[in-house]
Structure 1
Amino acid sequence: MFSHVFLGTRDFERALAFYRPLMALLGVAERFCEPEKPWAGWQSSPGPRPLFLLGKPFNGEEHVPGNGQMVALLAADHAQVDQAHALALAHGGRCEGAPGLRPQYHANYYGAYFRDPDGNKLCVACHDSTAG
């Protein structure tokens, strides 16, 4: 369904320091990093799409996070959701919802919510009933 998702940043180096360990924890490989542009991308497996891209806005204007926008990343199990949330907070993220079951979405939905240092909202979620 998706070719790529692009998130903007005001401070590329700070954002890179946030996303590199998060994506590594989730097992998403970095495909490229071009600090001179600046932008970076991570590739899904088995790939090559969708890509998760991070960079300064193309139009050169200041990045402003949107209200009501969120990117949800897939976790293998509940422990990985917990670890991703803790890692995000340790790297400058802000909690928007602690890890836990959210049966209002579906019986097996286990997720955590946070904002990156630029204010972009993210979720890490697991949908597997056997992953607890």
Structure 2
Amino acid sequence: MFSHIFMSVSDFDRAFNFYRPLMNSLGVELRFCDHEKPWAGWHSAGKERPFFVICKPHNGQPHHAGNGQMVAFAATSQAAVRATHQVALENGGTCEGPPGLRPQYHANFYGAYFRDPDGNKLCVACHALPVDIP
């Protein structure tokens, strides 16, 4: 469905230091990184697309976090949701909703919400049967 998802950032190095461990936690591969441009892109293991890309705004204007936009990453387990949420908080993210079941979405939805250092809203979610909730 998607070719790529682009996330604007104000400070590339700070953002890269946030997203690299986050993507590692999810098992998402770094496909490219160019500090001169600056931009970086990740994709699921063994895949070519879609890409998740961070970069300063192309038009040179300041970054602004959107109101109502969110990117949600898939996790393979509830444990991965918890671990990734913790990694986000340890690397400059802020909590927007701790890991847990969200039955208002569907019976198996287990997710966590956070913002990156630029205020972009992110989610990590697992849709599998809730078998490893502590």
Query: How would you bin the TM-score normalised by the shorter chain?
Result: over 0.9
CA pair 56-131 structure 1, distance change in 2 beyond 3 A: farther
Query: Any residues of structure 2 matched to 1:50-89 within 5 Å, and which?
Result: 50-89=50-89
Partner in structure 1 of residue 92 of structure 2 = 92
Amino acid corresponding to residue 122 of structure 1 in structure 2: L
Partner in structure 2 of residue 10 of structure 1 = 10
TM-score (normalised: structure 2): 0.96
Say if 2:101 and 2:110, in contact at 8 Å, map to a contact too.
Answer: yes
CA displacement at 1:44 relative to structure 2: 1.9
Aligned structure 1 segments of 4 or more residues deviating by more than 4 angstroms: none
> Residue deviations 1:61-88, cap 9 Å, x none?
1110100000000001001100111110
Say if 2:110 and 2:130, in contact at 8 Å, map to a contact too.
Answer: no
Which blocks of at least 5 consecutive residues in structure 2 are unaligned?
A: none
RMSD between aligned residues: 0.9
Partner in structure 2 of residue 46 of structure 1 = 46
CA displacement at 1:103 relative to structure 2: 0.2
Query: Any residues of structure 2 matched to 1:20-39 within 5 Å, and which?
Result: 20-39=20-39
Amino acid corresponding to residue 58 of structure 1 in structure 2: H
> Residue deviations 1:67-120, cap 9 Å, x none?
000000000100110011111011010000000000000000000000000000
Say if 1:39 and 1:53, in contact at 8 Å, map to a contact too.
Answer: yes
Give 3-state SS (helix, strand or coil) of 1:73's partner.
strand
Amino acid corresponding to residue 43 of structure 1 in structure 2: H
Partners in 2 of 1:91 and 1:131 — Cα distance? 28
CA pair 72-22 structure 1, distance change in 2 beyond 3 A: same
TM-score (normalised: structure 1): 0.97
CA displacement at 1:46 relative to structure 2: 3.2
Which blocks of at least 5 consecutive residues in structure 1 are unaligned?
A: none
Partners in 1 of 2:34 and 2:46 — Cα distance? 23
Q: How many percent of aligned residue pairs carry the same amino acid?
A: 63
Aligned length: 132
Partners in 1 of 2:38 and 2:65 — Cα distance? 18
Amino acid corresponding to residue 22 of structure 2 in structure 1: L
Say if 2:88 and 2:114, in contact at 8 Å, map to a contact too.
Answer: yes
